[in-house]
Structure 1
Amino acid sequence: MERQNNIVIIGGTACGPKAGARARRCDPQARITIVEQGEDLSTATCGLPYYVSGVIDSESKLVARQHDFFRDVMNMEVLTHTKALAINHKAHQVELLNLETNHVSTIEYNRLILATGSTPVVPDLEGSSLRGIFTLSKIKDASDIQDLISSRKIKKAVIIGAGLIGLEMAEAFVSRGLEVTVVEALNWVLPALVDFEVAAYIEKHLRGKGVNLLFGQRVIRFEDDGNGWVHKA
């Protein structure tokens, strides 16, 4: 008798659920477990800047599928608020930490899929832990940014990096009425994606919207306002 596939997927934002759905179609009898350290599965992270801007008006519109879809329709086990700590390749086990209870457990697999995505890089600079400094990769990040703009009546924003997310956030902040400055260490926007000539058109568009672009410059520290909030870069 053929052994049942035991598939563990680490990461439940986008690729993980897609991989799980594909695995289910290929093997209706497989045991499939999705491990996600956050609260939500199948989130449209590309829409986060548009949630900040208000174009998307609800967090629920950023979630493609709810937990019960994966449990009841796709017959998968869903472990949210759970972090993968270590992989034992020889034993075919993953060590897990429940972030709510701090309970550590192990789960066995004979097929392991890593779909953890990327992690934002926070520069190791003086003041980088001050309140008011954000990265953007999860729905909670976008909600926290929205709340800060509203609660503290934020008027100015500085964005480090002129990549895709940085430029989308620049437009999001402009649409919220903020004065926006983008700081890029290289000499044009989207330096990893487009050449100087194409970048010139994008820069013209951004400047036309009021975005201040600073090229060939690096942020070297963040200044405290005296109350633990970032005041200046």
Structure 2
Amino acid sequence: MAASAARAAQRVVIVGGVAGGASCAARLRRLTETAHITIFERESAVSYANCGLPYRVGDLITDDSKLFVASAAKFKSWFNVDVHTSHEVLSIDRKARTITARDLASGREFDAPFDALVLSPGAQAIRPPLPGVDLPGIFKMKTVPDAAAVRAFIEKHKVKSAVVIGGGFIGLEMVENLVHRGIQVTLLEAGPQIMPPLDPEMVAPIYDVLADKGVVVALNDGVAGFEQGPDGTGLVVKTAGGAAYPTDMAMLVIGVRPDTALAKAAGLDIGQRGGIRVDEHMRTSDPGIFAVGDAVETKDWITGDWTLCALAGPANRQGRIAADNIAGRSSAFRGTQGTSVVGVLGLTVAATGASEKALKRAGLAYAKVYTHANQHAGYYPGASTIDFKLLFDPKDGAILGCQATGWEGVDKRVDVVAALMQKRGSVYDLEEAELCYAPQYGSAKDALNLAGMGRVAANHLRGDHPLAQWDEMARVRGEVEAGTAVLVDVREPAEVARGTVEGALNFPLSTLRANLDQLPKDKRCYVFCQVGLRGYNATRQLLLSGRDAVNISGGWRSAQQAAPGGGASKL
């Protein structure tokens, strides 16, 4: 009892009052009434939804007040938590167990003691020291004042054009919201693809959507600097490749980096990825100091590697876990699997777990399948396709990750996979998953059951469904040229006329059984259709007839996404 009372009476200081810090304060108060809890936040507000900032710029959120989850006054009245906004913590004295803070309004500096300290400083928007980067009309997007500044500039200068620099989550959300305001947008990305965390073929549909809205996309060309526009109006964005883009304004959203200045100065361990190193209990190298949110490194749920994860969901959970441990409860963070979603002009792109790129970097064995199934029953009006990629362990079928793109129902499917992964689920679990069904919501055999993630992957592991991938076509071509294999397109002639693999034989599934004698028994048949289902049925026919047959996963649709821009016909 004495130990519990002593623990409950401790002074807890939290640096940063957005997702992780606010969550920690609220959770801790629900666990103890006697601890003295203080939040220091350098911005003018706490507990605001910075994920909504691009939508405030686009006027989809019509009032700043909608972005605030809880005010300083609410924290005091609901939780008896003292909140000091516009206060910056300057230093930590680990020996004396005090922090030094500055009131940014008055300049007054003072010390505050702590028994437990929680660092939740977040991440800083990257703003490289480029020529002209401080010219007017160049903005970042991190805080409510940032969004207000962009809105004010657009309205004052009647902005007609903008360059968005960075093709990640915030970059694409800014593109969407600027387009929503009728602004002509150019998107610059220094890398070879937008949405770098995803695999390149899974973001291919985004390019078409952007093009349909008149967005110009320039890849493999990063920003090199800025110049004032002619007659002192507007800007010219200069790129490393020598291009110049005249524009009214620019959004510099090339990413964030962990804000670790305070932790470094205090001598806390910093990890290999540049974040504050914490254990599973969110403790830093000083057992009395915790850290949560965008500033910390945690373990990747799948690869086990240290990683940075600037997402609100993990930050909130980490804040709760830190509070539990401060209150004497042993609570652990299992690691992050990076479950994320972004909307792009009506299209939804979502992912969870490891990408194929990440699995390759980690040197982990994996298998993959692609499917393209309707989000609900095809006979019900409004059916549209979800492009789905599943990555799994080739030994036991354990799910390693998935990515999906589509107009509706994408988040639902990825959330199901994300939850199964938390229980170390496999493709066999997807095969048996019992999901909601009514014609307007899904199908009796859902995209996760039939089209495929469960049955395509599970049947592959059982040996019933041999698979090849479009990125293996160089090897397949070699077999065809050596006379040991043939390519078989089982679509209808009208579909083939719109594009196929050069040299492929055409035997539509509807006539395949009657023409089996025209396919060799001494050569492997690489089969493909439009999305994979007919290819699977054709592969089963060929296997049962004594032939060696392999279905190319995802069909012609996956081939086109693997080689966007019309290159699929050259595979």
- Fold match by TM threshold 0.5: yes
Query: Is the alpha carbon distance of 1:9 and 1:227 closer, same or farther for their aligned partners in structure 2, counting shifts above 3 Å?
Result: farther
The C-alpha deviation readout for 1:77-126, integer Å capped at 9, x for no partner, is 11011001111111111110110001111111111111111110012100
- Flag the 1:104–1:228 CA change in 2: closer, same or farther, 3 A: farther
1:10 and 1:159 map into 2 onto residues whose CA distance is 31
Q: 2:206 aligns with which of 179, 183, 202?
A: 202
Q: Residue 222 of structure 1 contacts residue 230 of structure 1 at CA under 8 Å; is this kept in 2?
A: no
Deviations 1:156-212 (A, max 9, x none): 111111010000000000001111011101011111x21110111122222222211
Percent identity over the alignment is 35
What is the rounded CA distance, in whole Å, between the counterparts of 2:98 and 2:157 in structure 1?
47
Please give the alpha-carbon distance, in whole angstroms, between the structure 1 residues aligned to 2:66 and 2:148. Answer: 13
AA partner of residue 202 (structure 2): V
Q: Distance in 1 between matches of 2:35 and 2:232?
A: 50
Partners in 1 of 2:39 and 2:214 — Cα distance?
Answer: 43
Structure 1: distance between partners of 2:107 and 2:231: 32
How far off is 1:226 after superposition? 7.3
Letter of the aligned partner of 1:20 in structure 2? A
CA distance in 1, matches of 2:19, 2:176: 24
2:169 aligned to which of 164, 169, 181: 164
**Who is 1:212 aligned against?**
216
Aligned to 1:231: 235
Question: So what's the TM-score if we normalise by structure 2?
Answer: 0.40
Q: Go from structure 1 to structure 2 and tell me whether the alpha carbon gap of 1:108 and 1:228 turns closer, same or farther (over 3 Å shift).
A: farther
User: 1:133 corresponds to which residue?
Assistant: 138
TM superposition shift of 1:68: 1.3
| SS of corresponding position for 1:157 | strand
Match of 2:369 in 1: none
Displacement of 1:227 = 8.0
Whether the 8 Å contact between 2:164 and 2:188 is mirrored in structure 1 is: yes
Number of residues of Structure 1 aligned to a counterpart in Structure 2: 232
Say whether residues 1:56 and 2:52 are aligned partners.
no
Q: Quick one: distance in 1 between partners of 2:126 and 2:47?
A: 23
Q: Which residue of 2 aligns with 1:109?
A: 114
Q: Which has the higher contact order (CA 8 A, sep 6+)?
A: 1
Deviation at 1:225, TM superposition (A): 3.5
Which amino acid counterpart does residue 58 of structure 1 have in structure 2?
D
Secondary structure of the residue that 2:225 maps to in structure 1? coil
Q: In structure 1, how many angstroms separate the alpha carbons of the residues matched to 2:87 and 2:231?
A: 34
Maintained 8 Å contact 2:40/2:85: yes
The whole-number CA distance in structure 2 between the counterparts of 1:62 and 1:142 is: 11
- What does residue 490 of structure 2 align with? none
Equivalent residues in 2 for 1:170-181 (5 A)? 170-181=175-186
Q: For the Cα contact (< 8 Å) 2:14–2:117, is it kept in 1?
A: yes
Q: What TM-score, normalized by structure 1, do the two folds share?
A: 0.96
- The answer for the alignment partner of 2:290 in structure 1 is none
Going from structure 1 to structure 2, the CA distance change for 1:229 and 1:39 (only over 3 Å counts) comes to farther
2:226 maps to 1:222: yes
2:455 paired residue number:
none
User: Separation in 2 of the partners of 1:67 and 1:207?
Assistant: 44
Contact 1:49 1:172 in 2 (8 A): yes
8 A Cα contact 1:94 1:107, kept in partner:
yes
Tell me, in whole angstroms, the C-alpha distance in 2 between the residues paired with 1:141 and 1:203.
28
Find out whether 1:151 has 2:163 as its counterpart.
no
Change over 3 Å in CA distance of 1:189–1:125 after alignment to 2: same
Gaps of 5+ in 2: 238-571
Between 200-209 and 78-87, report the one with greater CA deviation.
200-209
Query: What residue identity is the alignment partner of 2:168?
Result: G
Find the aligned partners of 2:214 and 2:10 in 1 and give their Cα distance: 55
| 8 Å contact kept, 2:72–2:82 | no
Matches within 5 A, 1:180-191: 180-191=185-196
Match of 1:16 in 2: 21
Cα offset for 1:228?
Answer: 7.1
Structure 1 distance, partners of 2:34, 2:106, is: 31
Change (3 A) 1:200 1:118: same
User: What are the Cα deviations for residues 6-52 of structure 1, in whole angstroms up to 9, with x where unaligned?
Assistant: 11111112221111001111222110001001111110111001100
Q: CA RMSD in A?
A: 1.4
Partners of 1:70 and 1:159 in 2: CA distance: 36
SS in 1 for 2:224: coil
Cα distance in 2 for partners of 1:92, 1:216 equals 48
Q: Secondary structure at the match of 2:195?
A: coil
Partner in structure 2 of residue 41 of structure 1: 46
